[in-house]
A = this chain, B = another copy of it.
Amino acid sequence: MNQPKRYLNIVSEMRDMIREQNIRPGDRIPSERELAEKLAVGRSTIREALRSLELLGLIETRRGEGTFLADPRKHRLVELLATFILQDNKTLEDVRETMCIHETAAIQAICASDASKLPVWESLRERLGGHEFIREDFVRELMVLSGNRLSLKIWFLLKQYGGNPYDGEVMPEERPLLKNILQAIEQQDAETAIRDFKAWSSVLIKGENEQWR
């Protein structure tokens, strides 16, 4: 009889243990040696289970300290998917277009919500007026304000893979355009905001931003 693998049992037993003992993200998990004794298996078996969970980003191990339950928001779904998705069709065009999909969706979400009335929004306006404002910060701030963490993660990852079009600092000549975008969002005019945003980003992507130098 081909017995079921032990380490798979360990995986589910650990999941139960985490649930029952109400271990929260960031909390410490019993040490490998403790677990081995408690579950009556060898330490190497425990480790095989832990390594699997670590690769998934479900736990975090720090040598000398211990093993900790990871923040669910740090799960590696996207990263792992990326290694398998992006290996064949990394058509740069698709990456850029998909980034744009998420960006416009974010703007739309902000317009449809009250996000532009939060204090965070005001600070974004102020930073746009100040010096040393990085382009990427502007877009990322919009992604964050959309409230969809998964979308944010996907966007962030695409940015890494597709070459960051938002590299560098906002030039003085760009500022009016960005201010228009913010204003349109405040007025919940998604259409205008998206049009202006696309105008801005397409210039960056085409590398024609030397006009702002």
**Which residues in A have some Cβ–Cβ distance to B below 8 Å?**
2, 7-8, 11, 15, 44, 47-49, 51-52, 54-56, 58, 63, 72, 75, 77, 80-81, 83-86, 88-91, 94-95, 97-98, 101-102, 104-105, 148-151, 153-154, 157, 161
Contact = CB atoms under 8 A, between A and B. Distances in A.
Chain B CB count within 10 A is highest, among A55, A89, A90, A97, for A55
A149 B91 contact: yes
Contacts of A89: 149-150, 153
A153 B98 CA distance: 11
A85 B150 contact: yes
A75 B83 contact: no
Question: How many copies of this chain does the complex contain?
Answer: 2
A85 to B, nearest CB: 5
Given A44-B44, A89-B149, A94-B149, 19 more contacts: A7-B51, A8-B55, A47-B48, A51-B51, A51-B52, A55-B55, A55-B56, A72-B88, A75-B81, A75-B85, A77-B77, A77-B81, A77-B85, A85-B153, A85-B154, A86-B150, A98-B150, A101-B101, A101-B148
